[in-house]
Structure 1
Protein backbone atom coordinates (compact mmCIF):
# COMPACT_ATOMS: atom_id res chain seq x y z
CA UNK A 1 0.00 0.00 0.00
CA UNK A 2 1.53 3.30 -1.08
CA UNK A 3 1.49 6.27 1.27
CA UNK A 4 -1.41 8.65 0.78
CA UNK A 5 -2.18 11.91 2.55
CA UNK A 6 -5.11 14.26 2.06
CA UNK A 7 -5.14 17.90 3.16
CA UNK A 8 -8.10 20.25 2.92
CA UNK A 9 -8.43 23.72 4.42
CA UNK A 10 -11.51 25.96 4.26
CA UNK A 11 -11.96 29.66 4.99
CA UNK A 12 -15.47 30.50 6.18
CA UNK A 13 -15.56 33.91 7.85
CA UNK A 14 -13.09 35.71 5.60
CA UNK A 15 -12.16 34.77 2.00
CA UNK A 16 -8.50 34.60 1.03
CA UNK A 17 -7.04 37.58 -0.76
CA UNK A 18 -5.03 37.19 -3.98
CA UNK A 19 -1.88 37.84 -1.96
CA UNK A 20 -2.75 35.11 0.52
CA UNK A 21 -3.48 32.65 -2.29
CA UNK A 22 -0.08 33.47 -3.79
CA UNK A 23 1.56 32.81 -0.41
CA UNK A 24 -0.10 29.40 -0.25
CA UNK A 25 0.90 28.59 -3.82
CA UNK A 26 4.56 28.80 -2.77
CA UNK A 27 3.98 25.66 -0.71
CA UNK A 28 2.47 23.59 -3.52
CA UNK A 29 2.36 23.78 -7.30
CA UNK A 30 -0.27 21.03 -7.57
CA UNK A 31 -2.83 22.07 -4.93
CA UNK A 32 -6.26 23.38 -5.83
CA UNK A 33 -6.38 26.86 -4.30
CA UNK A 34 -9.40 29.15 -4.31
CA UNK A 35 -10.54 32.15 -2.31
CA UNK A 36 -12.08 29.75 0.21
CA UNK A 37 -10.00 26.57 0.16
CA UNK A 38 -6.73 24.69 -0.26
CA UNK A 39 -6.92 21.01 -1.29
CA UNK A 40 -4.07 18.66 -2.10
CA UNK A 41 -3.32 14.93 -2.13
CA UNK A 42 0.14 13.50 -1.59
CA UNK A 43 1.21 10.08 -2.84
CA UNK A 44 5.00 10.32 -2.55
CA UNK A 45 5.78 13.81 -1.27
CA UNK A 46 4.62 15.56 1.88
CA UNK A 47 2.87 18.73 2.98
CA UNK A 48 5.29 21.68 3.04
CA UNK A 49 3.21 23.99 5.21
CA UNK A 50 2.37 24.19 8.91
CA UNK A 51 -1.29 23.25 9.45
CA UNK A 52 -1.52 25.01 12.83
CA UNK A 53 0.04 28.21 11.49
CA UNK A 54 -2.25 28.14 8.46
CA UNK A 55 -5.28 27.78 10.71
CA UNK A 56 -4.15 30.76 12.75
CA UNK A 57 -3.54 32.93 9.70
CA UNK A 58 -5.83 31.81 6.86
CA UNK A 59 -8.46 29.18 7.58
CA UNK A 60 -11.36 28.19 9.83
CA UNK A 61 -11.42 24.40 9.23
CA UNK A 62 -8.95 21.68 8.27
CA UNK A 63 -9.34 17.96 7.53
CA UNK A 64 -6.39 15.57 7.26
CA UNK A 65 -6.33 11.85 6.48
CA UNK A 66 -3.41 9.47 5.91
CA UNK A 67 -3.37 5.91 4.60
CA UNK A 68 -1.46 4.61 7.63
CA UNK A 69 -4.57 5.15 9.77
CA UNK A 70 -4.47 8.72 11.01
CA UNK A 71 -6.93 11.58 10.61
CA UNK A 72 -7.54 14.97 12.15
CA UNK A 73 -10.15 17.72 12.19
CA UNK A 74 -9.20 21.28 13.18
CA UNK A 75 -11.74 24.06 13.74
CA UNK A 76 -11.02 27.68 14.60
CA UNK A 77 -13.65 29.38 16.74
CA UNK A 78 -13.85 32.71 18.60
CA UNK A 79 -13.26 32.24 22.30
CA UNK A 80 -16.30 34.30 23.24
CA UNK A 81 -18.54 31.92 21.28
CA UNK A 82 -17.58 28.81 23.24
CA UNK A 83 -18.62 27.47 26.61
CA UNK A 84 -15.15 27.65 28.15
CA UNK A 85 -16.08 25.73 31.31
CA UNK A 86 -17.39 22.87 29.13
CA UNK A 87 -14.27 23.07 26.97
CA UNK A 88 -12.03 22.82 30.03
CA UNK A 89 -14.02 19.84 31.36
CA UNK A 90 -13.76 18.00 28.02
CA UNK A 91 -10.04 18.59 27.53
CA UNK A 92 -8.69 18.30 31.07
CA UNK A 93 -6.77 15.10 31.76
CA UNK A 94 -5.59 13.45 34.95
CA UNK A 95 -3.48 10.93 33.02
CA UNK A 96 -0.17 12.76 32.55
CA UNK A 97 1.09 10.08 30.20
CA UNK A 98 -0.83 11.86 27.46
CA UNK A 99 0.36 15.21 26.20
CA UNK A 100 -1.84 17.72 24.42
CA UNK A 101 -0.55 16.95 20.93
CA UNK A 102 -1.37 13.25 21.47
CA UNK A 103 -4.88 13.74 22.78
CA UNK A 104 -7.83 12.55 20.74
CA UNK A 105 -9.26 15.99 21.56
CA UNK A 106 -7.37 19.12 22.52
CA UNK A 107 -7.48 22.88 22.22
CA UNK A 108 -5.05 25.75 22.11
CA UNK A 109 -5.72 29.47 22.36
CA UNK A 110 -4.15 32.28 20.41
CA UNK A 111 -5.50 35.79 20.62
CA UNK A 112 -9.27 35.86 20.53
CA UNK A 113 -9.62 32.38 19.02
CA UNK A 114 -9.43 28.75 20.04
CA UNK A 115 -8.09 26.03 17.79
CA UNK A 116 -10.01 22.81 18.49
CA UNK A 117 -8.49 19.52 17.32
CA UNK A 118 -10.07 16.07 17.08
CA UNK A 119 -7.66 13.20 16.29
CA UNK A 120 -7.94 9.50 15.52
CA UNK A 121 -5.03 7.12 15.03
CA UNK A 122 -5.16 3.41 14.22
CA UNK A 123 -1.76 1.95 15.06
CA UNK A 124 -2.85 -1.57 14.09
CA UNK A 125 -3.48 -0.74 10.44
CA UNK A 126 -6.57 -2.97 10.53
CA UNK A 127 -9.13 -0.25 9.81
CA UNK A 128 -10.25 -0.82 6.22
CA UNK A 129 -11.43 2.76 5.96
CA UNK A 130 -7.86 3.95 5.36
CA UNK A 131 -6.85 1.27 2.87
CA UNK A 132 -8.10 3.13 -0.19
CA UNK A 133 -7.32 6.64 -1.36
CA UNK A 134 -10.80 8.04 -0.87
CA UNK A 135 -11.00 8.64 2.88
CA UNK A 136 -10.10 12.32 2.70
CA UNK A 137 -12.56 13.78 0.18
CA UNK A 138 -16.12 14.47 1.40
CA UNK A 139 -15.19 14.65 5.09
CA UNK A 140 -14.98 18.45 5.03
CA UNK A 141 -18.44 18.70 3.51
CA UNK A 142 -19.85 16.48 6.26
CA UNK A 143 -17.89 17.94 9.20
CA UNK A 144 -17.81 21.67 8.48
CA UNK A 145 -21.32 22.30 9.92
CA UNK A 146 -19.85 21.41 13.33
CA UNK A 147 -18.25 24.84 13.47
CA UNK A 148 -21.57 26.62 13.02
CA UNK A 149 -23.12 24.33 15.64
CA UNK A 150 -20.38 25.19 18.13
CA UNK A 151 -20.79 28.91 17.44
CA UNK A 152 -24.52 28.51 18.17
CA UNK A 153 -23.70 27.08 21.58
CA UNK A 154 -24.05 23.35 20.88
CA UNK A 155 -21.68 21.53 23.23
CA UNK A 156 -22.17 18.05 21.79
CA UNK A 157 -19.08 18.16 19.50
CA UNK A 158 -16.98 18.98 22.59
CA UNK A 159 -18.42 16.03 24.52
CA UNK A 160 -17.77 13.75 21.53
CA UNK A 161 -14.15 14.91 21.70
CA UNK A 162 -13.98 13.84 25.33
CA UNK A 163 -15.56 10.51 24.39
CA UNK A 164 -12.89 10.07 21.70
CA UNK A 165 -10.27 10.37 24.44
CA UNK A 166 -12.10 7.70 26.42
CA UNK A 167 -12.21 5.39 23.37
CA UNK A 168 -8.49 5.98 22.83
CA UNK A 169 -7.66 4.86 26.38
CA UNK A 170 -6.43 8.31 27.39
CA UNK A 171 -8.51 8.59 30.57
CA UNK A 172 -8.22 6.81 33.91
CA UNK A 173 -11.15 4.89 35.42
CA UNK A 174 -11.57 7.59 38.09
CA UNK A 175 -11.77 10.43 35.57
CA UNK A 176 -15.12 12.25 35.74
CA UNK A 177 -17.04 13.03 32.58
CA UNK A 178 -17.92 16.60 31.56
CA UNK A 179 -21.48 17.86 32.01
CA UNK A 180 -23.59 15.73 29.67
CA UNK A 181 -25.19 17.94 27.01
CA UNK A 182 -28.77 17.44 25.93
CA UNK A 183 -29.47 15.69 22.65
CA UNK A 184 -26.77 13.00 22.57
CA UNK A 185 -29.43 10.52 21.48
CA UNK A 186 -30.35 12.70 18.49
CA UNK A 187 -27.04 13.87 17.01
CA UNK A 188 -27.05 16.15 14.01
CA UNK A 189 -25.73 14.74 10.69
CA UNK A 190 -22.43 16.55 11.26
CA UNK A 191 -22.12 15.12 14.77
CA UNK A 192 -22.89 11.65 13.45
CA UNK A 193 -20.14 12.19 10.88
CA UNK A 194 -17.74 13.24 13.66
CA UNK A 195 -18.52 10.03 15.58
CA UNK A 196 -17.78 8.08 12.39
CA UNK A 197 -14.64 10.13 11.67
CA UNK A 198 -13.28 9.40 15.16
CA UNK A 199 -14.41 5.74 15.05
CA UNK A 200 -16.23 6.15 18.35
CA UNK A 201 -17.31 2.95 20.05
CA UNK A 202 -21.08 2.77 19.45
CA UNK A 203 -21.71 1.19 22.83
CA UNK A 204 -19.71 3.83 24.71
CA UNK A 205 -21.62 6.50 22.82
CA UNK A 206 -24.91 4.86 23.79
CA UNK A 207 -23.76 4.62 27.41
CA UNK A 208 -22.84 8.30 27.43
CA UNK A 209 -26.14 9.23 25.80
CA UNK A 210 -28.12 7.29 28.41
CA UNK A 211 -27.67 10.23 30.80
CA UNK A 212 -28.51 12.89 28.20
CA UNK A 213 -31.82 14.72 28.29
CA UNK A 214 -33.86 15.55 25.21
CA UNK A 215 -33.32 18.81 23.39
CA UNK A 216 -35.81 21.46 24.37
CA UNK A 217 -37.74 22.69 21.34
CA UNK A 218 -37.62 26.44 20.66
CA UNK A 219 -40.91 27.89 19.50
CA UNK A 220 -41.71 31.04 17.58
CA UNK A 221 -43.50 32.21 20.71
CA UNK A 222 -40.20 31.99 22.63
CA UNK A 223 -38.53 34.15 19.98
CA UNK A 224 -41.37 36.67 20.16
CA UNK A 225 -41.22 36.88 23.95
CA UNK A 226 -37.48 37.40 23.92
CA UNK A 227 -37.64 40.05 21.19
CA UNK A 228 -40.31 41.92 23.12
CA UNK A 229 -37.99 42.08 26.12
CA UNK A 230 -35.05 43.54 24.17
CA UNK A 231 -34.16 47.20 24.36
CA UNK A 232 -33.98 49.29 21.21
CA UNK A 233 -30.30 49.86 21.91
CA UNK A 234 -29.51 46.12 22.01
CA UNK A 235 -31.38 45.45 18.78
CA UNK A 236 -29.70 48.41 17.06
CA UNK A 237 -26.30 47.09 18.11
CA UNK A 238 -27.04 43.74 16.45
CA UNK A 239 -28.27 45.39 13.27
CA UNK A 240 -25.19 47.60 13.18
CA UNK A 241 -22.98 44.52 13.20
CA UNK A 242 -24.92 43.19 10.22
CA UNK A 243 -24.53 46.46 8.34
CA UNK A 244 -20.80 46.43 9.03
CA UNK A 245 -20.50 42.96 7.44
CA UNK A 246 -19.99 41.21 10.78
CA UNK A 247 -22.91 38.80 10.44
CA UNK A 248 -21.28 35.85 12.30
CA UNK A 249 -20.51 38.11 15.25
CA UNK A 250 -24.05 39.47 15.21
CA UNK A 251 -25.53 35.97 15.21
CA UNK A 252 -23.29 34.83 18.06
CA UNK A 253 -24.24 37.85 20.15
CA UNK A 254 -27.97 37.38 19.57
CA UNK A 255 -27.87 33.65 20.24
CA UNK A 256 -25.85 34.09 23.43
CA UNK A 257 -28.35 36.60 24.79
CA UNK A 258 -31.26 34.38 23.78
CA UNK A 259 -29.72 31.33 25.50
CA UNK A 260 -29.13 33.34 28.65
CA UNK A 261 -32.76 34.45 28.58
CA UNK A 262 -33.91 30.84 28.03
CA UNK A 263 -31.89 29.65 31.02
CA UNK A 264 -33.42 32.35 33.19
CA UNK A 265 -36.94 31.20 32.26
CA UNK A 266 -36.40 27.67 33.51
CA UNK A 267 -36.66 26.74 37.16
CA UNK A 268 -33.27 26.18 38.67
CA UNK A 269 -32.43 22.49 38.74
CA UNK A 270 -29.65 20.57 40.39
CA UNK A 271 -27.08 19.50 37.80
CA UNK A 272 -27.17 15.85 36.78
CA UNK A 273 -24.56 13.73 38.55
CA UNK A 274 -21.40 13.28 36.49
CA UNK A 275 -20.19 9.72 36.15
CA UNK A 276 -16.72 8.26 36.35
CA UNK A 277 -15.17 6.55 33.35
CA UNK A 278 -15.46 3.14 35.04
CA UNK A 279 -19.23 3.58 35.41
CA UNK A 280 -19.69 4.60 31.78
CA UNK A 281 -17.63 1.61 30.64
CA UNK A 282 -19.74 -0.70 32.79
CA UNK A 283 -22.93 0.66 31.22
CA UNK A 284 -21.34 0.29 27.78
CA UNK A 285 -20.56 -3.35 28.49
CA UNK A 286 -24.19 -4.00 29.42
CA UNK A 287 -25.38 -2.23 26.27
CA UNK A 288 -22.88 -4.22 24.19
CA UNK A 289 -24.17 -7.51 25.58
CA UNK A 290 -27.77 -6.50 24.91
CA UNK A 291 -26.92 -5.35 21.39
CA UNK A 292 -25.03 -8.54 20.58
CA UNK A 293 -27.89 -10.66 21.94
CA UNK A 294 -30.38 -8.69 19.83
CA UNK A 295 -28.14 -9.10 16.78
CA UNK A 296 -27.89 -12.85 17.36
CA UNK A 297 -31.65 -13.09 17.72
CA UNK A 298 -32.21 -11.01 14.59
CA UNK A 299 -29.73 -13.18 12.66
CA UNK A 300 -31.46 -16.36 13.85
CA UNK A 301 -34.87 -14.99 12.84
CA UNK A 302 -33.52 -13.95 9.45
CA UNK A 303 -32.02 -17.40 8.95
CA UNK A 304 -35.31 -19.04 9.92
CA UNK A 305 -37.16 -16.88 7.39
CA UNK A 306 -34.62 -17.78 4.71
CA UNK A 307 -34.93 -21.48 5.50
CA UNK A 308 -38.72 -21.28 5.36
CA UNK A 309 -38.59 -19.49 2.01
CA UNK A 310 -36.06 -22.01 0.74
CA UNK A 311 -38.28 -24.90 1.81
CA UNK A 312 -41.16 -23.44 -0.18
CA UNK A 313 -38.89 -23.10 -3.23
CA UNK A 314 -37.65 -26.68 -2.90
CA UNK A 315 -41.17 -28.09 -2.57
CA UNK A 316 -42.24 -26.15 -5.67
CA UNK A 317 -39.23 -27.39 -7.61
CA UNK A 318 -39.83 -31.01 -6.57
CA UNK A 319 -43.47 -30.73 -7.64
CA UNK A 320 -42.27 -29.62 -11.07
CA UNK A 321 -39.66 -32.37 -11.42
CA UNK A 322 -40.96 -33.68 -14.78
CA UNK A 323 -40.51 -30.29 -16.42
CA UNK A 324 -37.04 -29.87 -14.92
CA UNK A 325 -35.88 -33.22 -16.32
CA UNK A 326 -37.08 -32.11 -19.75
CA UNK A 327 -35.12 -28.86 -19.40
CA UNK A 328 -32.01 -30.83 -18.44
CA UNK A 329 -32.43 -33.08 -21.47
CA UNK A 330 -32.85 -30.04 -23.72
CA UNK A 331 -29.68 -28.44 -22.42
CA UNK A 332 -27.66 -31.63 -22.87
CA UNK A 333 -28.87 -32.02 -26.44
CA UNK A 334 -27.33 -28.66 -27.25
CA UNK A 335 -23.93 -30.35 -26.95
CA UNK A 336 -22.10 -27.18 -25.87
CA UNK A 337 -20.29 -26.21 -22.67
CA UNK A 338 -22.89 -23.65 -21.59
CA UNK A 339 -25.62 -26.26 -22.00
CA UNK A 340 -23.72 -28.78 -19.88
CA UNK A 341 -23.18 -26.11 -17.19
CA UNK A 342 -26.87 -25.22 -17.15
CA UNK A 343 -27.87 -28.89 -17.06
CA UNK A 344 -25.59 -29.45 -14.05
CA UNK A 345 -27.07 -26.52 -12.14
CA UNK A 346 -30.60 -27.80 -12.77
CA UNK A 347 -29.62 -31.33 -11.75
CA UNK A 348 -28.03 -30.21 -8.48
CA UNK A 349 -31.02 -28.02 -7.64
CA UNK A 350 -33.46 -30.83 -8.35
CA UNK A 351 -31.38 -33.26 -6.27
CA UNK A 352 -31.64 -30.95 -3.28
CA UNK A 353 -35.37 -30.47 -3.81
CA UNK A 354 -36.10 -34.19 -4.07
CA UNK A 355 -33.97 -34.90 -1.02
CA UNK A 356 -35.95 -32.26 0.89
CA UNK A 357 -39.29 -33.97 0.12
CA UNK A 358 -37.79 -37.45 0.75
CA UNK A 359 -38.04 -38.57 -2.89
CA UNK A 360 -34.36 -39.28 -3.40
CA UNK A 361 -34.94 -42.78 -4.82
CA UNK A 362 -37.21 -41.29 -7.47
CA UNK A 363 -34.53 -38.75 -8.36
CA UNK A 364 -31.83 -41.43 -8.62
CA UNK A 365 -34.00 -43.53 -10.92
CA UNK A 366 -34.65 -40.57 -13.23
CA UNK A 367 -30.95 -39.67 -13.25
CA UNK A 368 -30.03 -43.23 -14.26
CA UNK A 369 -32.51 -43.02 -17.13
CA UNK A 370 -30.96 -39.71 -18.19
CA UNK A 371 -27.50 -41.27 -18.23
CA UNK A 372 -28.61 -44.08 -20.53
CA UNK A 373 -29.20 -41.37 -23.13
CA UNK A 374 -26.43 -38.89 -22.32
CA UNK A 375 -23.90 -40.98 -20.41
CA UNK A 376 -21.42 -40.98 -23.33
CA UNK A 377 -21.06 -37.22 -23.37
CA UNK A 378 -17.57 -36.92 -21.87
CA UNK A 379 -17.80 -33.21 -21.06
CA UNK A 380 -21.12 -33.73 -19.30
CA UNK A 381 -19.89 -36.78 -17.37
CA UNK A 382 -16.72 -34.95 -16.32
CA UNK A 383 -18.88 -32.26 -14.75
CA UNK A 384 -21.17 -34.81 -13.11
CA UNK A 385 -18.27 -36.80 -11.65
CA UNK A 386 -17.11 -33.76 -9.72
CA UNK A 387 -20.34 -33.87 -7.72
CA UNK A 388 -21.59 -36.49 -5.28
CA UNK A 389 -24.57 -37.44 -7.39
CA UNK A 390 -23.03 -40.52 -9.04
CA UNK A 391 -21.86 -41.92 -5.71
CA UNK A 392 -25.38 -42.12 -4.31
Structure 2
Protein backbone atom coordinates (compact mmCIF):
# COMPACT_ATOMS: atom_id res chain seq x y z
CA UNK A 1 0.00 0.00 0.00
CA UNK A 2 1.07 3.57 -0.58
CA UNK A 3 2.37 5.54 2.43
CA UNK A 4 0.35 8.40 3.95
CA UNK A 5 -0.06 11.23 1.41
CA UNK A 6 0.92 14.68 2.71
CA UNK A 7 -1.07 17.81 1.85
CA UNK A 8 0.07 20.18 -0.87
CA UNK A 9 1.82 17.49 -2.92
CA UNK A 10 0.36 18.96 -6.10
CA UNK A 11 2.42 22.12 -5.59
CA UNK A 12 5.94 21.05 -4.72
CA UNK A 13 8.34 23.54 -3.23
CA UNK A 14 11.65 24.19 -5.00
CA UNK A 15 13.58 21.89 -2.58
CA UNK A 16 10.97 19.14 -2.99
CA UNK A 17 11.15 19.43 -6.78
CA UNK A 18 14.95 19.30 -6.66
CA UNK A 19 14.80 16.18 -4.49
CA UNK A 20 12.33 14.50 -6.87
CA UNK A 21 14.60 15.30 -9.81
CA UNK A 22 17.69 14.05 -7.95
CA UNK A 23 15.97 10.77 -7.06
CA UNK A 24 14.59 10.54 -10.63
CA UNK A 25 11.03 10.11 -9.42
CA UNK A 26 8.81 9.36 -12.43
CA UNK A 27 6.78 12.49 -13.22
CA UNK A 28 3.65 10.53 -14.14
CA UNK A 29 3.85 8.44 -10.97
CA UNK A 30 4.22 11.62 -8.95
CA UNK A 31 1.20 13.13 -10.75
CA UNK A 32 -0.89 10.08 -9.84
CA UNK A 33 0.23 10.33 -6.21
CA UNK A 34 -0.87 13.98 -6.04
CA UNK A 35 -4.44 13.01 -6.90
CA UNK A 36 -4.94 11.81 -3.31
CA UNK A 37 -3.12 14.76 -1.75
CA UNK A 38 -5.38 17.26 0.07
CA UNK A 39 -4.97 20.95 -0.60
CA UNK A 40 -2.60 22.76 1.77
CA UNK A 41 -4.22 25.02 4.40
CA UNK A 42 -4.73 28.59 3.28
CA UNK A 43 -2.23 31.03 4.68
CA UNK A 44 -3.92 33.30 7.16
CA UNK A 45 -3.26 36.92 7.88
CA UNK A 46 -0.72 37.69 10.60
CA UNK A 47 -2.30 38.21 14.00
CA UNK A 48 -1.92 41.61 15.66
CA UNK A 49 -1.91 42.50 19.36
CA UNK A 50 -5.41 43.92 19.04
CA UNK A 51 -6.62 40.79 17.29
CA UNK A 52 -5.00 38.45 19.83
CA UNK A 53 -6.73 39.93 22.89
CA UNK A 54 -10.25 38.58 22.25
CA UNK A 55 -8.86 35.22 21.10
CA UNK A 56 -6.83 34.77 24.30
CA UNK A 57 -9.78 35.84 26.39
CA UNK A 58 -11.91 33.18 24.75
CA UNK A 59 -9.51 30.36 25.72
CA UNK A 60 -10.75 28.09 28.52
CA UNK A 61 -9.14 28.76 31.92
CA UNK A 62 -7.77 25.23 32.09
CA UNK A 63 -6.01 25.63 28.76
CA UNK A 64 -4.51 28.97 29.80
CA UNK A 65 -3.15 27.40 32.97
CA UNK A 66 -1.52 24.65 30.90
CA UNK A 67 0.08 27.10 28.47
CA UNK A 68 1.50 29.60 30.98
CA UNK A 69 4.01 27.21 32.67
CA UNK A 70 5.32 26.21 29.26
CA UNK A 71 5.71 29.87 28.39
CA UNK A 72 7.48 30.67 31.69
CA UNK A 73 9.96 27.82 31.38
CA UNK A 74 10.83 28.84 27.80
CA UNK A 75 12.00 25.38 26.91
CA UNK A 76 9.23 24.51 24.47
CA UNK A 77 10.15 25.54 20.91
CA UNK A 78 6.77 24.37 19.61
CA UNK A 79 4.73 26.48 22.03
CA UNK A 80 4.27 29.47 19.72
CA UNK A 81 3.14 27.28 16.83
CA UNK A 82 0.73 25.31 19.02
CA UNK A 83 -0.69 28.48 20.50
CA UNK A 84 -1.22 30.14 17.13
CA UNK A 85 -2.92 27.04 15.75
CA UNK A 86 -5.18 26.97 18.79
CA UNK A 87 -6.01 30.64 18.60
CA UNK A 88 -6.84 30.38 14.92
CA UNK A 89 -8.84 27.23 15.60
CA UNK A 90 -6.90 25.35 12.92
CA UNK A 91 -5.41 21.93 13.18
CA UNK A 92 -1.90 21.06 12.13
CA UNK A 93 -2.04 19.76 8.52
CA UNK A 94 -2.44 16.03 8.59
CA UNK A 95 -1.65 13.40 6.02
CA UNK A 96 -4.24 11.23 4.28
CA UNK A 97 -3.93 7.48 4.85
CA UNK A 98 -2.82 5.65 1.71
CA UNK A 99 -5.31 3.21 0.21
CA UNK A 100 -3.88 2.39 -3.23
CA UNK A 101 -1.56 -0.52 -3.98
CA UNK A 102 1.75 -0.18 -5.79
CA UNK A 103 0.28 -2.02 -8.80
CA UNK A 104 -2.63 0.44 -8.92
CA UNK A 105 -0.27 3.42 -8.81
CA UNK A 106 1.97 1.99 -11.54
CA UNK A 107 -1.00 1.16 -13.79
CA UNK A 108 -2.45 4.63 -13.30
CA UNK A 109 0.93 6.22 -14.08
CA UNK A 110 1.21 4.12 -17.25
CA UNK A 111 -2.28 5.19 -18.37
CA UNK A 112 -1.45 8.83 -17.68
CA UNK A 113 1.83 8.54 -19.60
CA UNK A 114 0.10 6.93 -22.59
CA UNK A 115 -2.56 9.62 -22.67
CA UNK A 116 0.05 12.37 -22.44
CA UNK A 117 2.09 10.89 -25.30
CA UNK A 118 -1.02 10.51 -27.46
CA UNK A 119 -1.89 14.15 -26.91
CA UNK A 120 1.66 15.18 -27.78
CA UNK A 121 1.64 13.05 -30.94
CA UNK A 122 -1.74 14.44 -31.98
CA UNK A 123 -0.47 17.99 -31.48
CA UNK A 124 2.69 17.17 -33.48
CA UNK A 125 0.65 15.74 -36.37
CA UNK A 126 -1.64 18.77 -36.40
CA UNK A 127 1.33 21.14 -36.46
CA UNK A 128 2.95 19.11 -39.24
CA UNK A 129 -0.26 19.15 -41.29
CA UNK A 130 -0.59 22.93 -40.93
CA UNK A 131 3.06 23.36 -41.95
CA UNK A 132 2.65 21.22 -45.08
CA UNK A 133 -0.58 22.97 -46.07
CA UNK A 134 1.08 26.38 -45.76
CA UNK A 135 4.12 25.13 -47.70
CA UNK A 136 1.91 23.90 -50.55
CA UNK A 137 0.28 27.33 -50.75
CA UNK A 138 3.71 28.94 -51.02
CA UNK A 139 5.09 26.41 -53.49
CA UNK A 140 6.25 29.03 -55.99
CA UNK A 141 8.28 30.84 -53.35
CA UNK A 142 9.74 27.52 -52.18
CA UNK A 143 10.80 26.63 -55.72
CA UNK A 144 12.59 29.96 -55.99
CA UNK A 145 14.46 29.19 -52.76
CA UNK A 146 15.43 25.75 -54.09
CA UNK A 147 16.75 27.22 -57.34
CA UNK A 148 18.65 29.90 -55.44
CA UNK A 149 20.31 27.29 -53.18
CA UNK A 150 21.31 25.14 -56.15
CA UNK A 151 22.71 28.15 -58.02
CA UNK A 152 25.24 28.85 -55.24
CA UNK A 153 26.98 25.50 -55.92
CA UNK A 154 27.83 25.20 -52.22
CA UNK A 155 27.45 21.97 -50.27
CA UNK A 156 25.49 23.51 -47.43
CA UNK A 157 23.16 25.28 -49.85
CA UNK A 158 22.61 22.01 -51.74
CA UNK A 159 21.69 20.31 -48.47
CA UNK A 160 19.13 23.03 -47.82
CA UNK A 161 17.74 22.57 -51.33
CA UNK A 162 17.40 18.83 -50.73
CA UNK A 163 15.57 19.45 -47.47
CA UNK A 164 13.17 21.86 -49.17
CA UNK A 165 12.57 19.36 -51.98
CA UNK A 166 11.68 16.66 -49.48
CA UNK A 167 9.36 19.04 -47.62
CA UNK A 168 7.72 20.18 -50.84
CA UNK A 169 7.21 16.59 -51.95
CA UNK A 170 5.50 15.81 -48.62
CA UNK A 171 3.42 18.98 -48.93
CA UNK A 172 2.08 17.99 -52.37
CA UNK A 173 1.29 14.47 -51.13
CA UNK A 174 -0.39 15.81 -47.98
CA UNK A 175 -2.50 18.34 -49.87
CA UNK A 176 -3.63 15.69 -52.34
CA UNK A 177 -4.50 13.24 -49.53
CA UNK A 178 -6.28 15.94 -47.53
CA UNK A 179 -8.45 16.87 -50.50
CA UNK A 180 -9.33 13.26 -51.30
CA UNK A 181 -10.21 12.56 -47.65
CA UNK A 182 -12.46 15.59 -47.24
CA UNK A 183 -16.01 14.47 -46.33
CA UNK A 184 -17.50 17.61 -47.83
CA UNK A 185 -16.36 16.87 -51.36
CA UNK A 186 -16.98 14.02 -53.74
CA UNK A 187 -14.01 11.71 -54.16
CA UNK A 188 -12.20 13.04 -57.24
CA UNK A 189 -11.06 10.66 -59.97
CA UNK A 190 -7.40 9.65 -60.11
CA UNK A 191 -5.26 12.36 -61.68
CA UNK A 192 -3.11 11.82 -64.72
CA UNK A 193 0.00 11.94 -62.55
CA UNK A 194 -1.38 9.38 -60.12
CA UNK A 195 -2.21 7.14 -63.09
CA UNK A 196 1.40 7.59 -64.21
CA UNK A 197 2.70 6.64 -60.73
CA UNK A 198 0.42 3.61 -60.70
CA UNK A 199 1.77 2.49 -64.06
CA UNK A 200 5.28 2.86 -62.63
CA UNK A 201 4.21 0.73 -59.62
CA UNK A 202 4.96 3.66 -57.36
CA UNK A 203 8.68 3.61 -58.15
CA UNK A 204 9.29 5.98 -61.07
CA UNK A 205 12.71 7.24 -62.02
CA UNK A 206 13.70 10.88 -61.77
CA UNK A 207 13.96 11.05 -65.54
CA UNK A 208 10.45 9.63 -65.99
CA UNK A 209 8.98 12.17 -63.56
CA UNK A 210 10.78 15.02 -65.29
CA UNK A 211 9.58 13.80 -68.69
CA UNK A 212 6.02 13.62 -67.43
CA UNK A 213 6.29 17.18 -66.11
CA UNK A 214 7.59 18.40 -69.49
CA UNK A 215 4.72 16.69 -71.33
CA UNK A 216 2.09 18.04 -68.92
CA UNK A 217 3.17 21.64 -68.51
CA UNK A 218 -0.41 22.81 -67.98
CA UNK A 219 -1.33 20.07 -65.51
CA UNK A 220 -1.95 21.14 -61.91
CA UNK A 221 0.35 18.36 -60.67
CA UNK A 222 3.34 19.36 -62.78
CA UNK A 223 4.96 20.92 -59.68
CA UNK A 224 4.48 17.66 -57.78
CA UNK A 225 6.14 15.71 -60.58
CA UNK A 226 9.09 18.13 -60.58
CA UNK A 227 9.42 17.84 -56.81
CA UNK A 228 9.47 14.04 -57.13
CA UNK A 229 12.06 14.28 -59.91
CA UNK A 230 14.33 16.49 -57.79
CA UNK A 231 13.99 14.27 -54.74
CA UNK A 232 14.61 11.06 -56.70
CA UNK A 233 17.70 12.59 -58.32
CA UNK A 234 19.17 13.44 -54.94
CA UNK A 235 18.30 10.01 -53.49
CA UNK A 236 19.96 8.28 -56.45
CA UNK A 237 23.14 10.26 -55.85
CA UNK A 238 23.15 9.28 -52.19
CA UNK A 239 22.85 5.62 -53.11
CA UNK A 240 25.82 5.71 -55.49
Normalising to structure 1: TM-score of the pair? 0.35
Confirm whether residue 256 of structure 1 aligns to residue 79 of structure 2: no
Distance in 2 separating the partners of 1:205 and 1:307: 34
Larger Rg: 2
SS at match of 1:388: helix
Match of 2:16 among 191, 194, 197: 191
Please point out which of 216, 221, 241 is paired with 2:41: 216
**How many residue pairs get matched?**
179
Report what 1:41 is aligned to.
Answer: none
How far apart, in 1, do the equivalents of 2:228 and 2:24 lie? 56
Deviations 1:21-51 (CA, angstroms, capped at 9, x unpaired): xxxxxxxxxxxxxxxxxxxxxxxxxxxxxxx
CA contact (8 A) 1:203 1:284 kept: no
- 2:133 aligned residue: 311
Equivalent residues in 2 for 1:220-231 (5 A)?
220=45, 227-228=52-53, 229-230=55-56
The alpha-carbon distance between structure 1 residues 240 and 309, as it changes in their structure 2 partners (threshold 3 A), is farther
1:323 aligns with 2:144: yes
Q: Which gives a bigger RCO, structure 1 or 2 (Cα 8 Å, sep 6+)?
A: 2
Unaligned 5+ residue runs, structure 2?
58-63, 173-220
Q: CA RMSD in A?
A: 4.5
Contact 1:207 1:281 in 2 (8 A): no
Alignment match, 1:361 = 225
Question: 1:176, 1:276 within 8 Å by CA — same for their partners in 2?
Answer: yes
Give the number of the structure whose residues are more often strand, by fraction.
Answer: 1
The equivalent of 1:52 in structure 2 is none
TM-score when scaled to structure 2?
0.53
1:289-308 mapped onto 2 (5 Å cutoff)? 289-308=111-130
For residue 181 of structure 1, give the secondary structure of its aligned residue in structure 2: coil
CA gap 1:364/1:184 in 2 versus in 1, 3 angstroms: closer
Aligned residue for 2:81, secondary structure, equals helix
